[in-house]
Amino acid sequence: MVSDIVQSYEVLAAGIAIAGGLIGTGMAQSGIGAAGMGIIAEKPEKFGQVLFFFVIPETLWIIGFVLGIILLLGVI
């Protein structure tokens, strides 16, 4: 009985970790994407630099996903 409750909390924690990473990525990329499109409209040669800054927030969902998998597998 107690084991089922603990397992339920582990699954819930993993879901929150993954969802938090995805929401954080979306919020970060919304601002960066809008600003980046403005920069590219004025200076197309800055495309590579803007793309680099747009990809940096992707690490948030990767960290959330890895943390969720760690919680689900019970490594910690």
User: Could you give the count of Cα atoms lying within 13 Å of 6 in the half-sphere of its Cβ?
Assistant: 4
What CA–CA distance (Å, rounded) separates 42 from 55?
20
- Residue 3's pLDDT band, with cuts at 50, 70 and 90, is confident
Domain holding 17, by residue range, is 11-71
Residue type, position 45, single letter: E
Please determine, for residue 42, whether its predicted confidence score (pLDDT) is greater than 80: yes
Identify the CATH number of the domain in which residue 48 sits. 1.20.20.10
Tokens standing for 29? Answer: 């990329």
Give residue-wise pLDDT tens across range 47-58: 999 999 888 888
Residue 42 lies inside a defined structural domain of this protein:
yes
Establish if 36 belongs to a structural domain.
yes
Q: What is the tens place of the pLDDT at every residue in 56-70?
A: 888 888 998 998 898
Domains identified in the chain, total number? 1
- Model confidence pLDDT, tens digit, residues 9-19: 888 988 998 99
Residue type, 67: L
Tell me which residue of 45, 59, 60, 51 sits closest to 32, measured CA to CA: 51
pLDDT of residue 4: 85
The pair of three-digit structure tokens given for residue 27, joined into one six-digit string? 């919020």
